[in-house]
Amino acid sequence: MSDSSPSPFPAAVIGVASGLGARDPRCRDGPAALERDGLLARLAGRGVHLSWRSTLEPDHRPGQSRIRAISEICNRLAREVGATIRTGGLPVVVGGDHSCAIGTWSGAAQAVSPRGPLGLVWIDAHMDSHTPATSHSGMPHGMPLAALLGHGASRELAIEVAEILHEGQIAPRHVCLVGVRSHEPEEEALLARLGVRIVHMDELRARGLDAVMREAIDIARADTAGYGITLDLDAMDPLDAPGVGTPVRGGIAAPALVESLAACCANDAALVALEVVEYNPHRDVDRRTAQVVEDVIAAVLGPRPAAEDALSRA
């Protein structure tokens, strides 16, 4: 059923047309495909009104390192996200590969820092917590959470992201991962050492998605100035969201995630930004994944379902 009232806060899409961090770079076409598909008009028809602020594209010059180009676009993204938040808006970042999270959440953390730290709910099939020294693939989209936690442990990466990370690091106790089912031991060892809460898929199935999402949001809200949600679309089962670069069977059912987001965090004043990444339109089937992107944004930005009002937090 469509929502009938507009979003109560200004929201703006920031597209990140970059696949430099992924093995399949075609996720760079995700923002343009969603814009052509009429994402804003579809959302407006559901009572969720937002503008398309900008679409950022990397300037990857011949001979330039990929890490340098990713750093540059993340710096630009951090400025866009920060400016949106500081002027009272809610940025909705649409990727592109997940390396853009370095820019999104550094910018958000800096924008809220006068009031306190930032919390983060990371919904993903993967941990994205490799460093260049531990990565099996060398792909930067498997490294953004480690970088945000202050562990981009190679000289090259540390130098390249220092400009945006020096004020924007996120404390491990304010982060919760949800839906993990594909990772390497090095990542889990780092996050365990740091004390990051990880909810694997087997725990999620045992406890139920709503209980897990409430816990994740509680972790991200506790003693923070606000929190963000980053969703890698491969967190969901590939049957529901086939348009991703690294599908992993056995994921979260898309309708269940949409319902849980609507129940647990719709219209939450503590939410400062939303990020949806890794949409690869070349792998999509019958618009399934594009529809999930729309549904997720509508769930988070739309009014809280009346039956769930009791879940709201002070």
59 is catalytic: no
pTM of the model: 0.89
CA distance 281 to 262: 25
Token duo for residue 188:
């889990």
278 is catalytic: yes
Q: Of the listed 80, 128, 187, 240, which one is catalytic?
A: 128
Q: Of the listed 3, 72, 97, 126, which one is catalytic?
A: 126
Q: Of the listed 275, 278, 294, 295, which one is catalytic?
A: 278
Q: Of the listed 141, 151, 174, 183, which one is catalytic?
A: 141
Judged against a pLDDT cut of 60, whether residue 294 lies above it is answered with yes
49 is catalytic: no
Strands (DSSP E) found in the chain: 11-16, 51-56, 90-95, 118-123, 175-180, 197-200, 226-232, 271-277
Residues 6+ positions from 230 with CB-CB distance below 8 Å: 98, 101, 104, 105, 120, 121, 122, 123, 124, 274, 275, 277
234 is catalytic: yes
The top-scoring range by mean pLDDT among 56-60, 229-233, 265-269, 309-313 is 229-233
Token duo for residue 121:
């709910």
Token duo for residue 233:
């679309």
Q: Average pLDDT in the 234-246 region?
A: 96
Q: Of the listed 187, 232, 268, 275, which one is catalytic?
A: 232
Crossing angle of the two packed helices 155-165 and 101-112, in degrees rounded to 10: 40
Q: Of the listed 234, 237, 268, 284, which one is catalytic?
A: 234
Q: Average pLDDT in the 30-46 region?
A: 97
Q: Of the listed 3, 124, 268, 294, which one is catalytic?
A: 124
Strands (DSSP E) found in 162-225: 175-180, 197-200
Judge contact between 238 and 248, C-beta under 8 A.
Answer: yes
Q: Of the listed 3, 72, 97, 98, which one is catalytic?
A: 98
How do residues 242-264 score in pLDDT, each as one tens digit? Answer: 999 989 999 999 999 999 999 99
Judged against a pLDDT cut of 60, whether residue 297 lies above it is answered with yes
- pLDDT for position 241: 98
Judged against a pLDDT cut of 70, whether residue 265 lies above it is answered with yes
Q: Cα–Cα–Cα angle for 58, 59, 61, nearest 5°?
A: 135
More confident residue, 93 or 62: 93
> 136 — phi, psi (to 5°)?
-80, -30
Judged against a pLDDT cut of 90, whether residue 3 lies above it is answered with no
Q: What is the 3-state secondary structure (H, E, C) of 131-151?
A: CCCCCCCCCHHHCHHHHHCCC
Domains of the chain: 11-115+149-169+225-311 (3.40.800.10)
- Percent of the chain topping pLDDT 70: 83
More confident residue, 183 or 144: 144
What is the DSSP pairing of strand 90-95 with strand 118-123? unpaired
CA distance 159 to 176: 27
- pLDDT for position 146: 87
72 is catalytic: no
- pLDDT for position 10: 87
